[in-house]
Amino acid sequence: MIKDITIGQYVPGESFVHKLDPRTKILISILFIIQLFLIKSFSGYIFVLTFIVGTVCIAKLSPRYLYKGLKPVFVLIIITAALNLFMIDGNELLFQWKFIKIYKEGLSTAAFMVLRLIFLILGTSLLTLTTSPIELTDGIERLLSPFRKIGLPAHELAMMMTIALRFIPTLMDETDKIMKAQMARGADFESGNIVQKAKSLIPLLVPLFISSFRRADELAMAMESRCYKGGEGRTRMKQLKMETIDFAAFLIYFSLAALSIMIYYI
């Protein structure tokens, strides 16, 4: 389960999607999240699915790899479906057993919210899968640079966000190693009730926190030894520049996004 988490991982490639400016991919990801909350019909999700499938095919990403990224949040998806299924009333009753009632409106809302959550995870994960940490840092910094006039530390914020994303896979590997080591010593993380399972995580969380603080200290020392003092005066080997493919990507995305939202009102 831990190894299935794909957030923060990068899959190298030379595709059209990989070559896009990181600012283009960041802006499209933000607009994609907004788009999902503006869509009000199942038919609108057809265009969302088209966008995701098309991006996956162009970037030559493995569908199994994306499925692995969904596995850790299956519990959250099930809880979301259950809450909407059993707690929303309506006019058309489909099933009733004692106090449990399932209405057509509840079933429709549950399916709609599950699809929204799945598309949200898949769509946003495409950003880190097709953008290297360095490009992601540069893109976030350039997008936040106008806010420097009001005192916002753009470079530092971009660096922190990128380091956080970069170390998610590392922390997951560390968690897996600690868990296997504790299981070899007789620790049981599976049996028992919720309270017992929570207590069994203490031998896992304590060494994980210690390891995380040690890695953070080592990273800070490494950056200081290389005379890192922030982004002031730093230059880049590759300068970010919007090209024709970026404007083409925006045009394609806006076309699909507009159709997905407007189809509800047509």
pLDDT score of 107: 86
Residues 119 and 243 in one domain: yes
Residues 216 and 253 in one domain: no
pLDDT score of 4: 55
Residues 201 and 78 in one domain: no
Residues 39 and 83 in one domain: yes
Residues 181 and 116 in one domain: no
Question: Are the C-beta atoms of 27 and 144 separated by less than 8 Å?
Answer: no
Residues 216 and 90 in one domain: no
Q: How many domains does the chain have?
A: 2
- Per the structure, the complete domain to which residue 253 belongs is given by 1-131+238-266
Question: Could you read off the pLDDT of 11-30 as tens digits, one per residue?
Answer: 888 888 988 999 999 999 99
Residues 71 and 103 in one domain: yes
Residues 199 and 103 in one domain: no
Residues 222 and 201 in one domain: yes
In a domain, 146, yes or no: no
Question: Could you read off the pLDDT of 151-192 as tens digits, one per residue?
Answer: 777 777 877 877 777 777 778 778 888 888 878 877 777 776
Residues 12 and 120 in one domain: yes
pLDDT score of 28: 94
In a domain, 141, yes or no: no
In a domain, 28, yes or no: yes
In a domain, 255, yes or no: yes
In a domain, 259, yes or no: yes
In a domain, 144, yes or no: no
In a domain, 158, yes or no: yes
pLDDT score of 230: 67
pLDDT score of 167: 78
In a domain, 93, yes or no: yes
Question: Are the C-beta atoms of 106 and 84 separated by less than 8 Å?
Answer: yes
Residues 246 and 210 in one domain: no
Write down the pTM of the prediction. Answer: 0.76
Residues 110 and 54 in one domain: yes
Residue 185 exposed, middle or buried by CB count within 10 Å (0-12, 13-18, 19+):
exposed
Q: Which residues of the chain have pLDDT under 70?
A: 1-8, 192, 230-237, 266
Helices 44-59 and 244-262: angle between axes, nearest 10 degrees: 150
241 sits in the region (left: phi over 0; alpha: psi -120 to 50; else beta) called: beta
Exposure class string for 215-237: b at 16+ Cβ within 10 A, else e? eeeeeeeeeeeeeeeebeeeeee
